[in-house]
Amino acid sequence: MIAFVRHGQTALNRGGRLQGRVDAPLSALGAQQAAALGASFAGEAITRVISSPLQRARDTAAAIAVHHGLAVDVDERLIELDYGDWDGLALADVPTSGWAAWRADVHFVPPGGESLVAVVDRVGAFCADQLGDELVIAVSHVSPIKAAVCAALGVDAGATWRMHLSVASVSRVGGRPDGSSYLVSYNETVPLAEV
């Protein structure tokens, strides 16, 4: 099973901005959320912790790995969707025509960026490599985690527009012997009181 963990809060996502490949650190609240996630996984038999290369994900992963004496492995396939020229923009500042085109076509590529289909492909390859009987933690971002959910449900990548995924949340994907995947849980959140 893979437990996909969305990193804790950053100042950019708190402000409603597209982060993409901007390497923003966790906010103070994000660090508390990461610690709460780590505590929530402390009793689970985790065999591996894998992270996106971006700092906010690596710091969240480290807060989980420390409870198990594990190192954090980095996998580029877990990196956030590349918003290209839109990285760092407030949602209200994304050109209206571009936003409409993006929502209408999973193959649409933001200027200098990456399509939803490309994210589904790379996350699907990650899942094929990592799904098994053991529990693997994969700390990532909103778009890759939604892509994993789409793959598990066998739905088009456009379904990502109909999902909300909280920061510091957990979504679990299981694997069957035939190589298919299925959704176990979605958007689990951990109270900060658990820290």
The 10s digit of each residue's pLDDT in 95-108 is 999 999 999 999 99
Mean pLDDT to the nearest integer, 118-128: 95
- CA distances for 81 relative to 19, 133, 139, 156, 187, angstroms: 9, 28, 14, 17, 19
Residue 193's pLDDT is what? 55
Q: Percentage of the chain surpassing pLDDT 70?
A: 98
CB 5 within 8 A of CB 164: no
Using alpha carbons only, give the angle 57, 150, 121 rounded to the nearest 5 degrees.
70
Question: In this structure, are residues 158 and 106 in contact, taking their beta carbons and an 8 Å threshold?
Answer: yes
The amino acid at residue 84 is G
Number of residues written out for the chain: 195
Is the pTM value of this prediction over 0.85?
A: yes
Amino acid present at 91: L
- Residue 98: DSSP 8-state: H
Of residues 142 and 177, which shows the higher confidence score? 142
d(CA 100, CA 2): 33
Delineate the domains of the chain, giving CATH numbers in brackets: 2-194 (3.40.50.1240)
Per-residue pLDDT, averaged over 173-185, amounts to: 92
List, for residues 25-65, the tens digit of each pLDDT value.
999 999 999 999 999 999 999 999 999 999 999 999 999 99
Q: Could you give the residue numbers annotated as active site?
A: 7, 80
Provide the pLDDT for residue 190: 86
Q: Has residue 192 got a pLDDT over 90?
A: no
Task: Order the strands of the 169-175 sheet from edge to edge.
Answer: 72-74, 46-51, 135-140, 2-6, 169-175, 181-189
